[in-house]
Amino acid sequence: MKCFSVAIDGPAGAGKSTMAKRVAEALGFLYVDTGAIYRTVGLAARRAGVEDSAGTAALLPGLKVALDYGADGLQHMYLNGEDVTAEIRRPEISLYASRVSAIPEVRSFLLQKQRDLAATRNVVMDGRDIGTVVLPNADVKIFLTAAPEERARRRHAELLERGMDSTYENVLADLTERDQNDMNRPVAPLRRAEDAVQVDTTGISLEDSFTLLLDTIQRRIAL
Ligand code: DC
């Protein structure tokens, strides 16, 4: 059976997870949030108190990173059996995730895990290198982006809604630093795949962005 895959890449706060989740629901596909997988490794590094590449790579053989989909349909992340789904969303984990994601050993540790998820199911997968590295043969590739200030505004609102304390300035600084890390790392940097459709949602409402995205995808996959 042919499995369809939709790759959605883009910088932090571009709305990838919100959009990918809704698109997956509309298509009846599984939504895979690959950032959550890197966040789980970032959390492990933070807990172990390691900041450097060699120390992080040394942790990998002892790490069990797993995910499943609960009755709520949400992707739950497990670190050595512990459900860390909520904890990996803490703002301080974002930078750890970005740092560990630049380490080649971490990327290869997680690569097959991501490919396996798409091997037997129709998926919408979001991340930074899905269209370029993880699923280079994805049926549809989207590069979702928006201006940094708008992405920071959205991310800030989202954190406040979750009851997390943060300022717009801190969120913007964090996004800018992560964009720099993610775009400039030597391995699997964030970049638009040549065959990806770029969708810029600056100044476009959530509803209109969703319609635009779903339409773009449906025109490319005939289900
Ligand atoms: O999507 P997110 O913001 O939750 O991702 C957290 C970090 O993980 C992000 O700064 C970069 C990294 N990441 C990555 O390098 N490759 C992916 N496919 C997904 C995320």
Q: State residue 202's pLDDT score.
A: 95
> Does the pLDDT value for residue 197 go beyond 60?
yes
Structure confidence by residue, pLDDT tens digits, 131-188? 999 999 999 999 999 999 999 999 999 889 988 888 999 999 999 999 998 999 999 9
Q: How confident is the model at residue 73 (pLDDT cuts 50, 70, 90)?
A: confident
Distance 162 CA to ligand 1 centre (A): 20
> Does the pLDDT value for residue 223 go beyond 60?
no
Model pTM score:
0.93
Find out whether the beta carbon of 122 lies less than 6 Å from any atom of ligand 1.
Answer: no
Mean pLDDT of the chain: 94
Here the tokens at position 93 are 């984990």
| For range 201-219, the mean pLDDT | 94
Cα dist from 68 to 32, 35, 37, 109, 189, whole Å: 10, 15, 11, 18, 27
According to DSSP, residue 158 is labeled H
Structure confidence by residue, pLDDT tens digits, 6-22? 999 999 889 999 999 99
Residue 179, classified by CB atoms within 10 Å of its CB into exposed (0-12), middle (13-18) or buried (19+), is middle
Q: State residue 133's pLDDT score.
A: 97
Tell me which long-range contacts 131-134 makes (C-beta under 8 A, separation of at least 24): 131/7, 131/9, 131/192, 131/193, 131/195, 131/196, 132/9, 132/188, 132/191, 132/193, 133/188, 134/7, 134/34
Structure confidence by residue, pLDDT tens digits, 35-53? 999 999 999 999 999 989 9
| For range 89-116, the mean pLDDT | 94
Q: Which amino acid is at 12?
A: A
Find out whether the beta carbon of 101 lies less than 6 Å from any atom of ligand 1.
Answer: yes
| Coil vs helix vs strand at 76 | strand
Find out whether the beta carbon of 127 lies less than 6 Å from any atom of ligand 1.
Answer: yes
Beta-carbon contacts of 180 under 8 Å, excluding residues fewer than 6 positions away, are none
Q: Residue 187: phi, psi to the nearest 5?
A: -100, 125
CB count, 10 Å around CB of 67?
17
Per DSSP bridges, beta strands 75-79 and 65-69 are antiparallel
> Does the pLDDT value for residue 54 go beyond 70?
yes
Distance 77 CA to ligand 1 centre (A): 14
Phi-psi region of 103 (alpha: psi -120 to 50; beta: other; left: phi over 0): beta
By alpha-carbon position, which residue is closest to atom 20 of ligand 1? 35
